[in-house]
Amino acid sequence: MPNANTKPRQRLKELREMKGTQRQVAQELGITETHLRELESGRSVPGTRLLKRIEHYFGVPDEEIFPDLHEPSFYLRA
Asked if residue 5 is part of any domain, the answer here is: no
Contact assessment for residue 46 and residue 54, using Cβ atoms and an 8 Å cutoff: yes
1 located within any domain: no
Which percentage of the chain shows pLDDT scores above 90?
74
Distance, CA of 48 to chain centre: 12
Tell whether 4 is covered by a domain: no
In a domain, 35, yes or no: yes
Query: What CATH number has the domain bearing residue 48?
Result: 1.10.260.40
pTM of the full predicted structure? Answer: 0.82
Evaluate whether 65 touches 15 at the Cβ level (below 8 Å): yes
Helices (H) and strands (E) in the chain, counts: 5, 0
24-48: per-residue pLDDT in tens?
A: 999 999 999 999 999 999 999 999 9
Count other C-beta atoms under 10 Å from residue 25's C-beta. 22
Asked whether residue 38 is assigned to any structural domain, the reply reads yes
Is the confidence at residue 8, as pLDDT, over 80?
no
Instruction: Please report which confidence band the pLDDT of residue 71 belongs to, taking 50, 70 and 90 as the band edges.
Output: confident
Number of domains in the chain: 1
Note down the domain range covering 22. 10-76
In a domain, 41, yes or no: yes
